[in-house]
Amino acid sequence: MLSFIGRRLLNYLVMLFAATTLAYFLASSFLNPRSNYVQMRPQPPEASIDASLDFANVNDKVPVVTRYGRWLEQVALHWNWGFTPRGEPVNGAIAYRAVVSAKLVTLATLLAVVLGVSIGVAAAIRQYGIFDRASNAVGMFFLVCPTFVLALLIVLGGIRFNEAVGARWFYVTGLGDAGFLDYLQHVALPTLTLTLVGYVGYQLTQRTYLLDTINADYVRTARSKGVPKNVAIRRHALRMSLIPTAIGVVWSLTAVITGSVFVETIFAIDGAGKYFIDALTQNDINGSVAIAALGGCATCAGLLLADVVVALLDPRIRIG
């Protein structure tokens, strides 16, 4: 197992380096930090603009290969991801926002997994029953409803609820910093939005694969030996059907780190997803590349965890 993990980590490190390098050159080609200063009125002197861009290592008058070499040296030797065109450190900005996104998305992911798997299992056991049809209908609504539309509906519902009870139970902006209760009041609505958006995929996946495994040979064999249906499903069919769901869960690690753009924007949460959009609109080369690299790290971690989880759930798989 350890040798397998070591080989995969080496492969992922190479892929991550190549992807991050490509992201740097693409960002340097499409983003123009100089335009931030050119649009100012009054426009700063050319020498002042060059000095600011040189400080951030994003001066387009310097060959991109030279800038990449300097950037790579700082990242490799000092873990310094550079500065924004305004001279702000990228490290501090991303570290804070990644924590914000992790707080927001982790709870929603856990709730979505528990809710989706539970409904999917219950629907599969009651195939074509009232619960199965109703849960599928509700799930399809949340599946086709755009995230920003659902978020706006939940914001409106929270405002109407506050007005109805005559007190502010839910906040629709920020995450709060005045204690645990204040945090819960701020995080409730965005967490509800992300949970409703995310649980449907787990529900449909779990239902589909459980229906496939319920009639598998090893389940029928267990039933023929006198094992009750619920026990056979729980001990045999459910374990195998959890593999695709488990893979989907580990893939969600990327969203835990990089955040949700729509939800963070609508609820005015200063997380990593919103920071990425701001970095693109502000021609922030270093910030954009850092977020892309962070997402790549989360993706590689998800890939590795997916391999391990599948091996643990499926006894037929042997990692060599």
Task: Express as a percent the part of the chain with pLDDT over 70.
Answer: 92
227 token code pair:
């094992």
Q: What is the tens place of the pLDDT at every residue in 226-249?
A: 777 777 777 767 777 777 777 777
Range name among 7-11, 84-88, 246-250, 297-301 with the lowest pLDDT average:
246-250
Cα–Cα distance, 224 to 254 (Å, whole number): 43
In the chain, domain spans: 2-78, 91-313
Task: Express as a percent the part of the chain with pLDDT over 90.
Answer: 35
* Whole-number Cα distances in Å, 25 to 36, 289, 315: 19, 9, 44
Predicted local confidence at residue 302, as pLDDT? 77
Range name among 152-156, 158-162, 175-179, 224-228 with the lowest pLDDT average:
175-179
Global pTM value: 0.80
Range name among 62-66, 137-141, 174-178, 262-266 with the lowest pLDDT average:
174-178
317 confidence band (pLDDT: 50, 70, 90): low
Average pLDDT over residues 66-84: 93
DSSP classification of residue 44: P
Average pLDDT, the chain: 85
Cα–Cα distance, 155 to 161 (Å, whole number): 10
Is the per-residue pLDDT at 311 higher than 80?
A: no
Instruction: Name 110's Cβ contacts closer than 8 Å, sequence gap at least 6.
Output: none
The pairs formed by 303-310 with CB atoms below 8 angstroms and a separation of 24 or more are 303/8, 303/12, 303/250, 304/5, 304/8, 304/9, 304/12, 305/250, 305/253, 306/246, 306/247, 306/250, 306/251, 307/4, 307/8, 308/1, 308/5, 309/243, 309/246, 309/247, 309/250, 310/243, 310/246, 310/247
Angle (CA) 238 299 24, round 5°? 165
The radius of gyration computed from the CA coordinates of the chain, to the nearest angstrom, equals: 24
What CATH number should be reported for the domain whose range is 91-313? 1.10.3720.10
Q: What is the tens place of the pLDDT at every residue in 202-218?
A: 898 888 888 888 877 77
Is the per-residue pLDDT at 320 higher than 60?
A: no
